[in-house]
Amino acid sequence: MKAQTVPPNTMQRLRRNIGKALHHGDRIWQWLTIGAGIGVALLLLGIGWMLWRDSADARSAFGLGFLAPTADASWNPVLDKFEAWPFIYGTLITSAVALLLAIPISVGIGIFLAELCPSWLRLPLGWMLELLAAIPSVVFGLWGIFVFLPEVVEPLGTFLAGTLGLLPGIGALFAGPIPASGASRLAAALILTIMIVPTISAVTRDVFLAIPRSQREAAYALGATEWETISQVLVPYGLSGVLGAVILGLGRALGETMAVTMVIGNSIGGAVSLLRPGYTMSSIIANEFAEAVSRLHSQALIEIGFLLFIVTLLVNMAARFLVWRVARRTPQEGRA
Amino acid sequence: MTNTASSTHFIRARRGYTRRRTANAVMLVLTGLTTALALIPLFWIIGYVVYQGGQYLTPAFFTELPTPPGTEGGGVWNAIQGTILLVILAGLFALPPGLLAAFYAAYYPNTPLGIAVRFSTDVLAGVPSIVIGLFLYALVVVVQGHFSGLAGGIALAILMLPTIIRTTEEMLKLVPPSLREASLALGAPEWKTSLQVVLPAAGNGLITGFLLGLARASGETAPLLFTALGNEWFDFRSLIRSGLESGMNPLEILVRIIEQPVDSLPLTLWKYAQQPYPERIHQAWAAALVLMAFVLAVNIFARLWILFRARRMKG
């Protein structure tokens, strides 16, 4: 016990005490993981709050009339008069048509992949669908402008204007003429269909794969054909999951920006027709936000963004809830 | 079957059976056809982009800065550098919080925070990318007073976050608990166990998840429109050279690089596709080919890798 050994001892003791207090670094680790978790959870709130705060002037200037349906909406950066209805309508109609077209196709794919296709084909087909989902949106847009619009949409639009367009009532939705370039709400809806089919069909396939084998065996034992088993047993069983998949696709359609902006024609016309150019909520933001000069103009765009955020948030929450409920109901039995 | 009543019944039942069989066959063929229908655009797009892009892909495309619109030649070297910068920034910003949050979600899945993390990750994956762009505009661009690669990088990081958290969480759950328990039993602290035992064991899966996230981020345009904005003169070499000439230290040069507005391949593609100059359209096709080839290659590679690992694990 010499006096000189005292300083190292206190150092060691100090280090040990710090180590103990921090559980040898585990305290810090715990704080870091919890902090990251809280950060991720708060991110959504942060996004919502920022957009809400930054659209305050637009909200107080235009009130609810900003969102109200009008036949001749004005979007005038010079007079600072803004109404969002043309964009809301464009988003709703393109998403609705895309969903109508995508549901039968995707449910068919989901059924085919989960129930019918040979097992060696299941994986490559699933991959191809995922590749379709992975192609960047701008590439869809470029292909849309130069290939899909002239070769598919324009002839189809002309045909629809000459047939459905002549009917009373729904004819208004198909009133022509479609622009020679093919750029129209119909084009946007068709591109959206292509883009959301992979999403919906992948989730539908997973929902069908999660249905217990006993359900199928019971139906076959009663003498049902494959299709009867699928349509009368499996579809009702997995219905909420399929609905979840569809809503997930809706969420993607509502928020899709680049491809839609490139093919929809970007025009604030009053017409309701699918065959006319239009605008969506996301495409007006994409086109004008970087160049918005007046405060109200950019705030009006942020308000549209806020609306888009809230709607997709609700849609995604609903979808997750539905898919999660199916996944939760089935694990006990499993599929041998 | 001697009496007539039961024989008509038999015939009717047979007829019903034929109808049911026909309906069965028709519907089964239809589901197969829907699958084929959905895959037509995939091959159409890939084929056409390869055909068009292949014609206009030149060495200059990769190495030269853009020439003025309407003139021949030039490339998108600025956008390639910008994409690399943005993707690196996105990875740096997304990886640490993503990994940490995934550790929490994987080991405490049923605590309130664990549920909140998993739920908000799922919901965040569905937030439109253009909304993320608006958020970063308010958060970074307005505060800094100018568009920058930094803002674009953070926007892409937020888009990558769900992919990273979800794959990491899945991969961490696949690591046998015995491995973790053995390390803890030897007295290693939790953080050392997590970083030096569990993480390497899950490593390959994490890398594929990270790559998939990067691929998604590298193809995004919407969040960059009013964050990174675009910059036809962006060039690492000239930025570094002028920085060195004015006597800046490396850190200052780095800050200057990430404070510049930058271009990226998808951003360039989007701008060029709307211009009336054929040369620019040609470059847009070439950009589409490069972008698509990169994204698809990463996707295929990642999936093959996962498949290979799953096979090997099953033994």
DSSP labels for B52-112? HHHHH--HHHHHSPPPPTTSS----HHHHHHHHHHHHHHHHHHHHHHHHHHHHHHHSTTSH
Are the Cβ atoms of B296 and A131 closer than 8 angstroms?
yes
Q: What does the alpha-carbon distance between residue B263 and residue B224 come to, in Å, rounded to a whole number? A: 9
Nearest to B189 among A24, A40, A54 (CB): A24
Q: Are B155 and B211 in contact (CB under 8 A)?
A: no
pLDDT value at position A336?
Answer: 33
Winning range, highest mean pLDDT, from A90-94, A118-122, A330-334, B241-245: A90-94
SS3 state of residue B262: strand
- Nearest by Cα to B148 from B89, B67, B213: B89
Q: Check whether A91 has a pLDDT greater than 90.
A: yes
Q: Check whether B286 has a pLDDT greater than 60.
A: yes
- For residue A147, what pLDDT band results from cuts at 50, 70 and 90? very high
219-278 in chain B: CB under 8 A from chain A: 219-222, 225-226, 229, 266, 269-270, 273-274
- For residue B52, what pLDDT band results from cuts at 50, 70 and 90? very high
Residues in a beta bridge with A76: A81
Q: Are B104 and A36 in contact (CB under 8 A)?
A: yes
- For residue A333, what pLDDT band results from cuts at 50, 70 and 90? very low
Determine contact: B121 vs chain A, CB below 8 A.
yes
The number of residues making up chain A comes to 336
Dihedral angle computed from the Cα positions of residues A7, A9, A12 and A15, in that order, rounded to the nearest 10 degrees? -60
- Nearest by Cα to B121 from A320, A143, A33: A320
pLDDT value at position B4?
Answer: 59
Nearest to A43 among B120, B122, B270 (CB): B120
Q: How many CB atoms lie within 10 A of CB B130?
A: 30
Q: Domains in chain B, ordered, with CATH?
A: 57-314 (1.10.3720.10)
Give residue for tokens 């981020």.
B217
- For residue A19, what pLDDT band results from cuts at 50, 70 and 90? confident
pLDDT in tens, B124-139: 999 999 999 999 999 9
Q: What does the alpha-carbon distance between residue A312 and residue B124 come to, in Å, rounded to a whole number? A: 10
- For residue A292, what pLDDT band results from cuts at 50, 70 and 90? confident
Q: Check whether A52 has a pLDDT greater than 90.
A: yes
pLDDT in tens, B80-104: 999 999 999 999 999 999 999 999 9
Are the Cβ atoms of B116 and A109 closer than 8 angstroms?
no
Q: Angle A271-A272-A278 (CA atoms, 0-180°, nearest 5)? A: 75
Determine contact: B83 vs chain A, CB below 8 A.
no
Question: Which positions in chain B touch A54 (Cβ < 8 Å)?
Answer: 138
DSSP codes of every residue in A214-228: HHHHHHHHTT--HHH
Question: Which positions in chain B touch A39 (Cβ < 8 Å)?
Answer: 97, 101
Q: Which distant-in-sequence residues (6+ apart) come within 8 Å of A63 by Cβ?
A: none
Task: Give Cα A62 distance to the centre of its chain.
Answer: 28
Q: Are B99 and B163 in contact (CB under 8 A)?
A: no
Question: Which positions in chain A touch B293 (Cβ < 8 Å)?
Answer: none
Mean pLDDT within A200-224: 92
**Shortest Cα–Cα distance, A105 to chain B (Å):** 5
CB pairs under 8 A between A and B: 263
Q: How far is CA A138 from CA A302, B38, B129, in A?
A: 23, 19, 13
pLDDT value at position B204?
Answer: 80
Question: Which positions in chain B touch A46 (Cβ < 8 Å)?
Answer: 135
Are the Cβ atoms of B103 and A308 closer than 8 angstroms?
no
Q: What are phi and psi of A197, to 5 degrees?
A: -55, -45
- By CA distance, what is A130's nearest residue in B? B299
A1 compared with A11, residue with greater pLDDT = A11
Q: How many CB atoms lie within 10 A of CB B46?
A: 19
Are the Cβ atoms of B219 and A255 closer than 8 angstroms?
no
pLDDT value at position B71?
Answer: 83
The number of C-alpha atoms within 13 Å of A28 and in the hemisphere containing its C-beta is: 10
Percentage with pLDDT > 90 across chain B: 52
pLDDT in tens, B5-22: 566 777 777 778 888 889
A124-138, A198-212, B297-311: least confident range: B297-311
Q: Average pLDDT, whole number, for chain B? A: 89
Nearest to B226 among A135, A225, A289 (CB): A289
Are the Cβ atoms of B39 and A111 closer than 8 angstroms?
no
pLDDT value at position A108?
Answer: 94
Determine contact: B310 vs chain A, CB below 8 A.
no
pLDDT in tens, A240-281: 889 999 999 999 999 999 999 999 999 887 688 899 999 999
Nearest to A134 among B135, B225, B299 (CB): B299
Question: Which positions in chain B touch A290 (Cβ < 8 Å)?
Answer: 225-226, 229
| Helix pair angle (A295-329, B112-124), 10° resolution | 120
pLDDT value at position B51?
Answer: 96
Question: Which positions in chain B touch A125 (Cβ < 8 Å)?
Answer: 35, 39
**DSSP E strands, A38-158:** 75-76, 81-82
pLDDT value at position A335?
Answer: 40
- By CA distance, what is B229's nearest residue in A? A290
Question: Which positions in chain A touch B113 (Cβ < 8 Å)?
Answer: 34, 37-38, 41
Are the Cβ atoms of B123 and A320 closer than 8 angstroms?
yes
Dihedral angle computed from the Cα positions of residues A9, A12, A18 and A21, in that order, rounded to the nearest 10 degrees? -80
- By CA distance, what is A254's nearest residue in B? B128
A309-323, B11-25, B51-65: least confident range: B11-25
Nearest to B117 among A37, A108, A226 (CB): A37
pLDDT value at position B311?
Answer: 74
Q: What does the alpha-carbon distance between residue B269 and residue B266 come to, in Å, rounded to a whole number? A: 5
pLDDT value at position B284?
Answer: 94
Q: Check whether A3 has a pLDDT greater than 70.
A: no
Nearest to A137 among B20, B23, B221 (CB): B221
Q: How far is CA A222 from CA A101, A215, A239, B11, B160, in A?
A: 34, 11, 22, 20, 49
- For residue A4, what pLDDT band results from cuts at 50, 70 and 90? low
- Nearest by Cα to A118 from B309, B308, B303, B32: B32
Are the Cβ atoms of B307 and A104 closer than 8 angstroms?
no
Q: Which distant-in-sequence residues (6+ apart) come within 8 Å of A111 by Cβ?
A: A204, A208, A230, A234, B31
Interface TM-score (ipTM) > 0.95: no
200-219 in chain B: CB under 8 A from chain A: 215-216, 219
SS3 state of residue A82: strand
Give residue for tokens 């139906």.
A219
pLDDT value at position A284?
Answer: 94
pLDDT in tens, B150-207: 999 999 999 999 999 998 998 888 888 999 999 999 988 888 898 899 988 888 878 8
**Shortest Cα–Cα distance, B225 to chain A (Å):** 7
Q: Are A272 and A171 in contact (CB under 8 A)?
A: no
B251-260 long-range contacts (CB < 8 A, ≥24 apart) are B257/B85, B257/B149, B258/B85, B258/B89, B258/B148, B258/B149, B258/B150, B258/B153, B259/B144, B259/B146, B259/B148, B259/B149, B259/B150, B260/B148, B260/B149, B260/B231, B260/B234
- By CA distance, what is A253's nearest residue in B? B128
- Nearest by Cα to A98 from A187, A206, A202: A187
Percentage with pLDDT > 90 across chain A: 61
Mean pLDDT within A195-199: 95
The number of C-alpha atoms within 13 Å of A14 and in the hemisphere containing its C-beta is: 6
Q: What does the alpha-carbon distance between residue A187 and residue A279 come to, in Å, rounded to a whole number? A: 12
Question: Which positions in chain A touch B121 (Cβ < 8 Å)?
Answer: 40
Q: Check whether A74 has a pLDDT greater than 90.
A: no
Q: What does the alpha-carbon distance between residue B149 and residue B130 come to, in Å, rounded to a whole number? A: 16
- For residue A334, what pLDDT band results from cuts at 50, 70 and 90? very low
Are the Cβ atoms of B127 and A313 closer than 8 angstroms?
yes
pLDDT value at position A270?
Answer: 65
